[in-house]
């Protein structure tokens, strides 16, 4: 970047590079979990206009491309006596996503300016949330714009974040950098073993085109090629179709929580909260003479809540047998925390905490459709939906299964086939449904023993050996990390840019 000056901060490992106009500063601090940062400040007395941060694994090629593009835009800005790089030029945020859409990425827009884009291989997710004030971002460290790369592969994952007031032209420049086309040159000793193994395998396949296999084979192909893989651990994508997995994980939080009791009956196993208002049950076999009209299948989870100990049930949730343990575990973990004090009143307060479920879904990019007396929200990329009935029924009608469920979370194989469902009555706490939705749509792959993956799901999923992630993730850098941490507010950063001069 011609004309920029780079200096080392005395007695630290920090490097600072400043633009000629002193309005743009790039900081490298290896001691921070997000070592790279860029700060834009039009005037010292107005504070920072916007800033961005990049986690440790961010490839230097991408950073170099972005910073060079940013320097060019800044130079044109200074020559034209404009300030578009600092405060924008009115360009809509959606325009920054056009470069990704033109490359074939899946993009979606929702209310309140929320935008999302995902790469075709599912390894990169870009999100643009609703606008937030600088005070809000400084308070919790959560920035509006986030690039998340290979979140399910910690060895190579990285992220980039920008504050709310970042101009669209800056985000477009970073999107162009993310689409870096050139091969990355690395010493093999610096690559994580998983990336190195996959890269070598693809190089061998390229030299023998007739033997070339897909980079991410289907589960049916893996089983056919090597039956011994049936006992091995694999990563399943998408995670909501991974099957129940180890059901012990579904109730591990209850097993560790103080005061919860476990009992086994002829047809089910039960976990009861210390306040005696919540019961989690897993059906071991079907009751030959059930007391309810709809007979649930073996393996179904039934969660019941009451207002007071030993009182009649107030709400109920049913999770079908193929529900992933991660989804059941998200619900039971919340229940364990909610009942930690052991008093019914404290449990009620925790479960009734305000949760704007519909608003969160819309802001998260879920599409909304209204069909008769039902409102349905559909995930932008996954076959996951949440439906809420607008009809009113008495509590007893719902508990006796004489009326349809008010809440229904469905995981689908395609437009016709359903993999599993979560059904809840009118009074089912929204925080529990939110926890289940978050777990069902988590971007990370699910770990499973190959033989536990439901056979009927195999045509709809892909599996990846944990030791061989895709070579395309090599663009995510070389160092290892446990993931980015929140960046403190820009005002607290000692490397705040000085006053800009022209």
One-character DSSP codes across 318-329? EE-TTS-HHHHH
Q: Which residues have a Cβ under 8 Å from the Cβ of 86 and sit 6 or more positions away?
A: 23, 40, 41, 42, 49, 50, 77, 167
Tell me whether strands 313-319 and 106-109 are parallel, antiparallel or unpaired. unpaired
Q: Residue 272 has what pLDDT?
A: 93
| CA–CA separation, 139 and 167 (whole Å) | 22
Strands (E) across 233-300 are located at: 233-237, 261-264, 268-272, 278-283
What is this structure's pTM? 0.51
Q: Residue 457 has what pLDDT?
A: 87
Cis peptide bond upstream of 238, omega within 30: yes
375 Rama class: left (phi>0) / alpha (psi -120 to 50) / beta: beta
Which runs of consecutive H residues, i.e. helices, occur in 380-429? 395-399
- Cα–Cα–Cα angle for 472, 477, 479, rounded to 5 degrees: 135
Q: Residue 113 has what pLDDT?
A: 67
Residue carrying the six token digits 């179709």: 241
Cα R_g (the chain), whole angstroms: 26
Q: Residue 241 has what pLDDT?
A: 93
Picking from 439, 325, 319, 452, the residue whose alpha carbon sits closest to that of residue 384 is 439
Q: Residue 98 has what pLDDT?
A: 86
| CA–CA separation, 156 and 480 (whole Å) | 6
Q: DSSP label at 218? A: B
Per-residue pLDDT of the chain in tens (502 residues, 90 and over written 9): 667 788 877 667 788 888 888 888 899 988 888 889 999 888 877 788 899 999 988 888 889 888 888 888 888 877 777 788 888 767 788 888 888 888 888 888 766 668 888 888 778 888 888 888 888 888 878 888 899 888 767 777 889 999 988 888 898 889 888 888 777 676 666 666 656 655 655 555 555 544 444 444 444 444 444 444 446 788 998 999 999 988 788 999 998 888 899 998 878 899 999 999 999 999 886 555 444 344 567 788 999 999 898 788 889 999 999 999 999 999 999 999 999 988 889 998 998 887 778 888 888 889 999 888 889 999 988 999 999 888 877 666 667 665 678 899 999 988 778 899 999 988 899 999 999 999 999 988 999 988 888 888 888 888 888 754 444 444 444 444 444 333 333 334 434 444 444 4
Which helix (H) or strand (E) segment holds residue 117: the answer is: strand 115-118
Q: Residue 291 has what pLDDT?
A: 43
Q: Residue 390 has what pLDDT?
A: 84
Residue carrying the six token digits 């007395």: 45
Which helix (H) or strand (E) segment holds residue 387: the answer is: strand 384-389
124 phi/psi in degrees, rounded to 5: -125, 130
């Amino acid at each position: 970047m011609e004309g920029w000056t780079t200096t080392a901060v005395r007695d630290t490992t920090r490097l600072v590079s400043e633009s000629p106009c002193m309005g743009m500063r790039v900081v490298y601090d290896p001691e921070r979990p997000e070592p790279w940062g860029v700060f834009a400040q039009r005037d010292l007395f107005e504070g920072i206009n916007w800033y961005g941060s990049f986690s440790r694994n961010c490839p230097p090629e991408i950073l170099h491309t972005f910073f060079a593009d940013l320097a060019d835009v800044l130079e044109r800005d200074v020559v034209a006596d404009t300030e578009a790089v600092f405060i924008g030029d009115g360009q809509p945020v959606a325009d920054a996503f056009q470069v990704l859409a033109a490359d074939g990425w899946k993009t979606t827009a929702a209310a309140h300016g929320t935008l999302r884009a995902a790469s075709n291989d599912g390894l990169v997710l870009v999100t643009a949330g609703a606008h937030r004030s600088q005070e809000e971002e400084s308070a919790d460290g959560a920035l509006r714009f986030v690039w998340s790369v290979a979140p399910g592969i910690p060895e190579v994952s990285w992220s980039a974040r920008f504050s709310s007031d970042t101009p669209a032209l800056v985000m477009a420049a970073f999107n162009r950098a993310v689409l870096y086309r050139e091969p990355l040159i690395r010493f093999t000793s610096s690559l994580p073993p998983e990336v190195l193994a996959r890269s070598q395998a693809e190089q061998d396949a390229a030299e023998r085109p007739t033997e070339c296999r897909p980079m991410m084979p289907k589960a049916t192909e893996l089983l056919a090629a090597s039956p011994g893989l049936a006992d091995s651990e694999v990563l399943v994508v998408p995670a909501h179709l991974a099957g129940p997995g180890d059901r012990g994980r579904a109730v591990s939080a209850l097993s560790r929580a103080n005061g919860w009791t476990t009992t086994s009956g002829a047809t089910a196993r039960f976990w009861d909260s210390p306040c005696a208002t919540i019961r989690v049950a897993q059906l071991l076999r079907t009751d030959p003479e059930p007391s309810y009209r709809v007979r649930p299948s073996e393996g179904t989870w039934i969660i019941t809540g009451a207002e007071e100990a030993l009182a009649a049930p107030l709400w109920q949730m049913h999770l079908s047998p193929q529900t992933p343990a991660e989804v059941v575990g998200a619900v039971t973990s919340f229940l364990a925390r909610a009942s930690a004090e052991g008093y019914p009143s404290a449990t009620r307060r925790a479960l009734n905490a305000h949760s704007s479920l519909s608003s969160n879904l819309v802001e998260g990019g879920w599409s909304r459709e209204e069909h008769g007396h039902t409102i349905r929200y559909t995930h932008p990329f996954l076959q996951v939906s949440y439906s809420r009935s607008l009809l009113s029924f008495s509590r007893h009608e719902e508990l006796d299964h004489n009326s349809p469920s008010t809440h229904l979370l469905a995981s689908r194989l395609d437009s016709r086939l359903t993999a599993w469902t979560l059904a809840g009555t009118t009074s089912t706490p929204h925080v529990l449904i939110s926890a289940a939705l978050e777990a069902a749509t988590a971007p990370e792959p699910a770990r499973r023993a190959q033989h536990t993956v439901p056979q009927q799901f195999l045509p709809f999923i892909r599996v990846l050996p944990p030791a061989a992630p895709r070579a395309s993730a090599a663009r995510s850098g070389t160092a290892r990390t446990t993931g980015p941490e929140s960046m403190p507010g820009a005002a607290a950063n000692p490397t705040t840019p000085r006053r800009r001069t022209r």
